[in-house]
Amino acid sequence: MIRSAHFSPNKPPRTDIPPEEFPRLAKDRRGLLWVDFSGETPEASLPVLESFGFHPLAIDDALQEIHSPKVDDWDEYLYIVLNYMMVSADWESNMDELDIFVGRNYIVTHHDQPMDFVDEVWALYLRDPRHAHEGADHLLYRLADNLVTHYMPIVERVDEALDGIEDQVFDRPTPSTLQELFTLKRLLLTMRRVTLPQREVLNKLARDDFHVIDPHDRIFFRDIYDHLVRVHDLNESLRDLVGSVLDTYLSVVNNRMNEVMKTLTIITTLFMPITFITGFFGMNFFEPVAHLLGWTSREAFILMLVITGLLPIVMFTWMRRRTWV
């Protein structure tokens, strides 16, 4: 889908503009042209991008996915690559690339999947066209700001999930708890790979002298940079917390395993004398001779029963005094 909008002073926004008019409207100093490619095929996007006069290398980068965030200065326009990260309810992450061409009077965005934050800005500008009077660089700011703002709910979700996992670790750790920890760890690592290079892009937009960005608007990009630094710092803190919870999980599981082994060892130790006595008197080695008949008498049998019953009790009491139990 290719959607377009042109904003002129004292006029309602004009939408669904024929592509043939894009080059002319892009040179209109009184207005702002926004062309958005969403899930459009390279074959359909290529001639439209070429009509703007973009460099073939920049067009090729825009039509080929999976590039690291960057900003290229082509004098009359900037080519910017930003990455957008989406997380589903079951913590499956999906990344998409947002390619942006920014000129003095126009902005062109290209992405393969629908992006909520782009749709929000699009609806905002159509609802209140006065925002378009602030220029193309301010529209770039709003897009980048919305993108970074969408990272905070992800960080908050991870933080809440870790709080619940911490309670599970101490109450009843299960293999699924370990799986959740590794899922969150992988998600945070992916987010780190996304936010770290984008931080450098925003830092360049805030500090470097670009022809298409008004010097007075650099402070806005500095604000986004500060927000992204905070997201990155929170991400690093959560990664450390995941490592700590993982260590705690392994310690709790090992302690529980040790308790189980201790209980089994105590039970085995208590029944060892009984097993020995039972095995000893169960062997058929007594001869029917007079001086061994006492071992098979009724009194000897009762005595062995008493010893068999008292010996585990004595051993258990001794273990309690040694604080082994």
Other CB atoms within 10 Å distance of the CB of residue 262: 12
Q: Is 59 exposed, middle or buried (0-12, 13-18, 19+ CB in 10 A)?
A: buried
For the cut 90, the answer to whether the pLDDT of residue 89 exceeds it is no
- Residue 263 counted as domain residue: no
Banded pLDDT at 79 (limits 50, 70, 90)? very high
pLDDT > 70 fraction of the chain, expressed in percent and rounded: 92
- Residue 248 counted as domain residue: yes
Same domain, 298 and 211: no
Same domain, 69 and 204: yes
For the cut 80, the answer to whether the pLDDT of residue 161 exceeds it is yes
Same domain, 293 and 245: no
> Residue range 255-261: average pLDDT?
76
Of 214, 233, 253, which closes a domain? 253
With beta carbons less than 8 A apart as the criterion, state whether 178 and 247 touch.
no
Other CB atoms within 10 Å distance of the CB of residue 101: 24
**C-alpha–C-alpha distance, residues 86 and 98, integer Å:** 13
Banded pLDDT at 101 (limits 50, 70, 90)? very high
- Residue 270 counted as domain residue: no
Quote the number of domains for the chain: 2
Residues 5-36 have pLDDT tens digits of: 888 887 888 888 888 888 888 888 888 999 99
Task: List the beta bridge partners of residue 293.
Answer: none
Same domain, 133 and 18: yes
For the cut 60, the answer to whether the pLDDT of residue 286 exceeds it is no
Task: List the beta bridge partners of residue 6.
Answer: 14, 33
With beta carbons less than 8 A apart as the criterion, state whether 235 and 192 touch.
yes
Which of 119-128, 193-202, 266-275 has the lowest average pLDDT?
Answer: 266-275
Average pLDDT, the chain: 83
Of 213, 230, 253, which closes a domain? 253
HSE-up of residue 235 (Cα within 13 Å, Cβ side): 22
What's the pLDDT score for residue 249? 78
Residue span of the structural domain in which 133 resides: 2-253
Same domain, 53 and 7: yes
Supply the pTM of this predicted model: 0.75
With beta carbons less than 8 A apart as the criterion, state whether 121 and 139 touch.
yes
**C-alpha–C-alpha distance, residues 36 and 17, integer Å:** 12
Which of 69-73, 109-113, 296-300, 312-316 has the lowest average pLDDT?
Answer: 296-300
Same domain, 88 and 133: yes
- Residue 269 counted as domain residue: no
The three-state DSSP-derived secondary structure of the chain is CEEEEEECCCCCCEECCCHHHHHHHHCCCCCEEEEEEECCCHHHHHHHHHHCCCCHHHHHHHHCCCCCCEEEECCCCEEEEEEEEEECCCCCEEEEEEEEEECCCEEEEEECCCCHHHHHHHHHHHHCHHHHHHCHHHHHHHHHHHHHHCHHHHHHHHHHHHHHHHHHHHHCCCHHHHHHHHHHHHHHHHHHHHHHHHHHHHHHHHHCCCCCCCHHHHHHHHHHHHHHHHHHHHHHHHHHHHHHHHHHHHHHHHHHHHHHHHHHHHHHHHHHHHHHHHHHHCCCCCCCCHHHHHHHCHHHHHHHHHHHHHHHHHHHHHHHHCCCC
For the cut 70, the answer to whether the pLDDT of residue 297 exceeds it is no
- CA 199 to chain centroid, in Å, comes to 17
For the cut 60, the answer to whether the pLDDT of residue 169 exceeds it is yes
- Residue 106 counted as domain residue: yes
**C-alpha–C-alpha distance, residues 146 and 156, integer Å:** 16
Same domain, 248 and 288: no
Q: What is the CATH number of the domain that holds 235?
A: 3.30.460.20
- Residue 125 counted as domain residue: yes
**C-alpha–C-alpha distance, residues 255 and 132, integer Å:** 63
Same domain, 234 and 307: no
Same domain, 90 and 159: yes
Banded pLDDT at 283 (limits 50, 70, 90)? low
- Residue 272 counted as domain residue: no
**C-alpha–C-alpha distance, residues 319 and 145, integer Å:** 66
- Residue 278 counted as domain residue: no
Please name which of 136, 108, 137, 103 lies closest in space to residue 217, comparing C-alpha atoms.
137
> Residue range 263-280: average pLDDT?
74
What's the pLDDT score for residue 325? 63
Query: Counting every residue, how long is the chain?
Result: 325
> Residue range 91-97: average pLDDT?
83
What's the pLDDT score for residue 107? 93
Task: List the beta bridge partners of residue 94.
Answer: 86
Same domain, 77 and 188: yes
Same domain, 89 and 226: yes
Q: Which two tokens stand for residue 224?
A: 């986004």
Of 253, 271, 300, which closes a domain? 253
Residues 200-253 have pLDDT tens digits of: 888 888 887 788 888 888 889 899 999 999 998 998 888 888 888 888 877 777
Banded pLDDT at 135 (limits 50, 70, 90)? confident
> Residue range 149-165: average pLDDT?
88
With beta carbons less than 8 A apart as the criterion, state whether 108 and 224 touch.
no
For the cut 80, the answer to whether the pLDDT of residue 304 exceeds it is no
Same domain, 126 and 60: yes
